[in-house]
Structure 1
Amino acid sequence: MLTRSLRPKARPETFVVQAKAKTDPAVTSEGDTPAKVQDIATTEATLPGSEPMVLGVFGKENAPHALIRLPNGKVTEVQVGSRIGAQQVIAVAADAIVLSNSKRLRMPG
């Protein structure tokens, strides 16, 4: 029967930064992202407020899912067969989804 438990020593506050710096020379302090990485990973686009927008597509090739931002700002996950309002999702492509009214919603940018 366990009657006592030892408490581990606390990690130093700089532990995470030191660990990252040892594995990635581009990381100088917690939260820093190199400018080149930011440029590659960031796409600027105007967000349409009146219709759903595809934020991203993920999952297996034979069962893709998409993240959709609805006009009310809510983000939801859809797949083939899901409904967005009165329309049904009939296809999920690498950069878009197709709805049952033949409308294609694409990722911005």
Structure 2
Amino acid sequence: MEFREPEELCSEPLRVQQQLLDDETRALQVELTSLLNTGQETETNMVEMSALNHLMSTHVLHQAQQIEHLYDQAVEATKNVELGNIELSRAIQRNSSSRTFLLLFLSVLTFSILFLDWYS
């Protein structure tokens, strides 16, 4: 058996403890590095999602403006169709009244010619 001095006996458990602490420190460093990488990936993903969300909201706003413009055009087109229907009704009335006037005019002209032929 070997005899060691008391200093050597005390230093051996300290070395083992120091080795255990170093191993734990390395393991914690690896775990923290992994967590840091995961956090950085998450941050990158969040920044990308934020940019895509902003892009999507911009497109939705643009589409909303286009829909509003189309709605205004549809309302204007409906008014124009209604005005066109009114004009068509007026044209039909004018056509029937002008037809009546033309028929009356031709009748008077025919009777005038007949009267002038009979009178001569």
Q: Select the structure that is richer in strand.
A: 1
* TM-score (norm: length of structure 1): 0.16
Higher Rg of the two aligned structures: 2
With structure 2 as the length reference, what TM-score do the two structures score? 0.16
| Greater relative CO, 1 or 2 (CA 8 Å, sep 6+) | 1
